[in-house]
């Protein structure tokens, strides 16, 4: 009986020892640096976007400047993708296996190469082309050029089914206006919005045109106490058929205030909103 109990205890002890040894080995593996050709994704890319115009049959040629800011050689892959702007104003890149969007012109696009290498601190001028079909109709299409680490250089720890990838990607968004397409904005008023305890002013604009608009301009706000402040319009794109609120923000150097809450309502707003091909004179009261 004593021998049997001793043997059972010994087995349990061995199992515990083996388990702790396995966990120690596993943690040591995780702590070891992953040796790859490019341990990080450190690149500088410019410009962040292109707004191109062309006629049916034109070939538009552009260059993206890519700099390897890492201390090691980088191997990068390039692809085109569709994208859209979400409700919060962020750009969402669609996965490569998703069908072409209605607004896509990826099929018109030619890129220089899909994989390339770049030595540390070196710069590459990466070329791409947009071949507008001869029968293309007036309108606007969009796509993105996405630069990311090549698959073989992505840092990853794999232990059985355990996988922790470390990767990144940068997208350069491209608008292509074809023929006589243009935006047409309609002013829908200014509203007061409160978020996270802060007040902001939003100019609501609807785009009836067939190309995106990027409105700019400023509005002079005169408050109930006679104080004046110049408010700037955020240069945010409005897609065809879209209604979007564009924020008026206060710049301390220009307006003399840091936020809208420093003004006493009601506000009298007067100024000019401009976009490619049009303007609108703002002259309204906001309670």
Same-domain pairing of 105 and 158: yes
CA neighbor of 153 nearest in space, from 26, 41, 260? 41
pTM: 0.77
Asked if residue 176 lies in contact with residue 54, where contact means CB atoms within 8 angstroms, the answer is yes
Q: Kindly provide the b/e burial profile for residues 150-171, where b requires at least 16 CB atoms within 10 angstroms of the residue's own CB.
A: beebbbeeeeeeeeeeeeeebb
21 in any annotated domain: no
The model's pLDDT over 154-167, given as tens digits with 9 standing for 90+, comes to 554 344 444 444 45
Average pLDDT over residues 214-239: 94
CA neighbor of 203 nearest in space, from 149, 239, 245? 245
User: What is the pLDDT at residue 167?
Assistant: 53
Same-domain pairing of 126 and 159: yes
CA distances from 171 to 61, 79, 144 (A): 18, 10, 6
User: What is the pLDDT at residue 168?
Assistant: 79
Bond from prior residue into 247 cis (ω within 30 degrees of 0): no
Domain boundary among 178, 195, 229: 178
Asked if residue 38 lies in contact with residue 70, where contact means CB atoms within 8 angstroms, the answer is yes
Q: How many residues does the chain have?
A: 287
List 231's β-bridge partners, or say none: 219, 250
Query: From the CB of residue 268, how many other CB atoms can be counted at a distance below 10 Å?
Result: 14
3 in any annotated domain: no
Query: Which tokens go with 191?
Result: 């509203």
Residue appearing with tokens 């099929």: 107
Same-domain pairing of 69 and 170: yes
Same-domain pairing of 140 and 113: yes
The model's pLDDT over 31-40, given as tens digits with 9 standing for 90+, comes to 444 333 444 6
Same-domain pairing of 252 and 192: yes
Asked if residue 129 lies in contact with residue 109, where contact means CB atoms within 8 angstroms, the answer is yes
List all residues 6 or more positions away from 280 whose beta carbon is below 8 Å from its beta carbon: 185, 187, 272, 273
CA neighbor of 162 nearest in space, from 287, 12, 15, 29? 29
Same-domain pairing of 224 and 161: no
Tell me, what CATH number does 231's domain have?
2.60.40.10
Give the structural domain span for 274: 185-286
User: What is the residue-averaged pLDDT of the chain?
Assistant: 84
Same-domain pairing of 126 and 158: yes
The count of domains in the chain is 2
Same-domain pairing of 202 and 251: yes
Domain boundary among 178, 205, 237: 178
Same-domain pairing of 144 and 189: no
The model's pLDDT over 182-209, given as tens digits with 9 standing for 90+, comes to 999 999 999 998 877 788 899 999 999 9
CA neighbor of 66 nearest in space, from 175, 144, 172, 173? 172
Q: Is 72 helix (H, G, I), strand (E, B) or coil?
A: coil
């Amino acid at each position: 009986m004593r021998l049997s109990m001793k043997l059972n205890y010994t087995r349990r002890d061995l199992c515990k020892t083996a388990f702790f040894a396995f966990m120690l080995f596993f943690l040591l593996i995780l702590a070891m640096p992953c040796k790859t050709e490019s341990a990080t994704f450190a690149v500088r890319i410019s410009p962040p976007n292109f707004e191109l115009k062309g006629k049916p049959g034109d070939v538009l040629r552009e260059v993206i400047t890519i700099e390897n800011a890492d201390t090691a050689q980088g191997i990068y892959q390039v692809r085109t993708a569709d994208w859209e702007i979400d409700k919060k104003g962020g750009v969402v890149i669609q996965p490569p296996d998703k069908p072409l969007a209605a607004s896509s012109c990826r099929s018109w696009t030619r890129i220089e190469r899909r994989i390339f290498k770049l030595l540390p601190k070196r710069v590459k001028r990466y070329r791409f082309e947009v071949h507008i079909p001869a029968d293309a109709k007036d309108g606007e299409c969009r796509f993105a050029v996405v630069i990311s680490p090549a698959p073989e250089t992505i840092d990853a720890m794999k232990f059985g089914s355990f996988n922790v990838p470390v990767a990144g990607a940068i997208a350069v968004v491209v608008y292509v206006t074809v023929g006589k397409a243009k935006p047409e904005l309609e002013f829908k008023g200014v509203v007061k919005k409160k978020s996270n305890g802060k007040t902001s002013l939003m100019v609501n604009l609807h785009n009836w045109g067939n190309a995106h608009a990027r409105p700019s301009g400023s509005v002079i706000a005169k408050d109930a106490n006679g104080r004046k402040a110049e408010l700037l319009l955020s240069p945010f794109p409005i897609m065809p058929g879209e209604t979007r609120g564009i924020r008026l923000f206060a710049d301390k150097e220009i307006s003399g205030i840091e936020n809208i809450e420093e003004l006493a309502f009601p506000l009298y707003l007067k100024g000019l909103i401009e976009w490619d091909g049009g303007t609108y004179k703002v002259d309204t009261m906001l309670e």
